[in-house]
Amino acid sequence: MKPASFDYVRVSSKREVLQLLHEHGEDARVLAGGQSLMATLNMRLTQPKLVIDINRVEELRSIRNERGHLAVGAAVRQVELTDRTELATEVPLLAQALPWIGHFQTRNRGTVCGSVAHADPSAEIPLCLVTLGGTVVLESLKGKRREVPAADFFQGLLTTARQPRELISEVRFPLAQDGTEYRFREIAMRHGDFALVALALCLSDHGARLGVGGVADRPVAQPLPLGDALPDTLNTLAWSLGAQDDIHASAAYRRQLVRELGRRLIEEPSHARTR
């Protein structure tokens, strides 16, 4: 299929983006990597009157380590983080998750913020952002800026807290904490397919925080006690996610993956890393 007719504007400053979003609101869409947007345009699931290309906006292409966070701009491609040698120590959970995202070709084009904006429940980047307690920075005209906790930003299937006249200017991942280990695991039919279940874990002597993607209508993360109560807690978590049967897996199978994969991830020997 082909997209419905729309106007295309390539901008060179963030101010221009915000001005156009202010003027056109729901009739405008932002184009960065296009890995989600182009598919919805071609299927006519999205029919904007204006597409705003931000690829030449240099101020949206920054990756900054500041104030205990890694700030990633709206036009930063996923491969730029994959190639960042410091990422394994800055945000190790994200470094482990990135190779699971689609394929090399899509990571070359897809952006970090684009995945967040699309809000697919099985996507790896939103799961990491929620599990780590990250934030989404939203900006609109006249200097208005909101920093929304990731847990509040994702509101359902392909649904977020972003307002039509707001731009996701960056996302902020908390930097790794001393004494905390980070682990990521995913089950899919094939490498590059959507996750049936994806798990992200922050583990320390004080307890665990487990994030689950691909089951509920948004990524979910919660603290878990360690020890004898773990199996019951994982079972409660698995049932709370509202898993549904679909053509890829049954709800029962997804619940079992949460229970079993969650247990294995937590009990895995320290510093063991498998892809």
Q: Helix, strand or coil for residue 71?
A: strand
Give Cβ neighbours of residue 102 (< 8 Å, ≥ 6 apart): 35, 110, 192
Q: Are 254 and 233 in contact (CB under 8 A)?
A: no
Digit-coded pLDDT (tens) for 51-99: 999 999 999 999 999 999 999 999 999 999 999 999 999 999 999 999 9
CATH number, domain containing residue 225: 3.30.390.50
In a 13 Å sphere around the CA of 92, the CA atoms on its Cβ side amount to 14
pLDDT digits (tens, 9 = 90+) for 213-236: 999 999 999 999 988 999 999 999
Domain that holds residue 27: 7-53
Q: What is the pLDDT of residue 162?
A: 98
Residues 6+ apart with CB under 8 A from 165: 21, 22, 25, 140, 141
The answer to whether 30 touches 18, Cβ cutoff 8 Å, is no
Q: Is residue 36 part of a domain?
A: yes
173, 91 in Cβ contact below 8 A? yes
Whether residues 64 and 166 share a domain: the answer is: yes
Q: What's the number of domains the chain is made of?
A: 3
The CATH number of whichever domain residue 127 belongs to comes to 3.30.465.10
Same domain, 13 and 70: no
pLDDT in tens, 159-218: 999 999 999 999 999 999 999 999 999 999 998 899 999 999 999 988 899 999 999 999
Q: Which tokens in the block code for residue 28? A: 């405008």
Residue 220 placed within a domain: yes
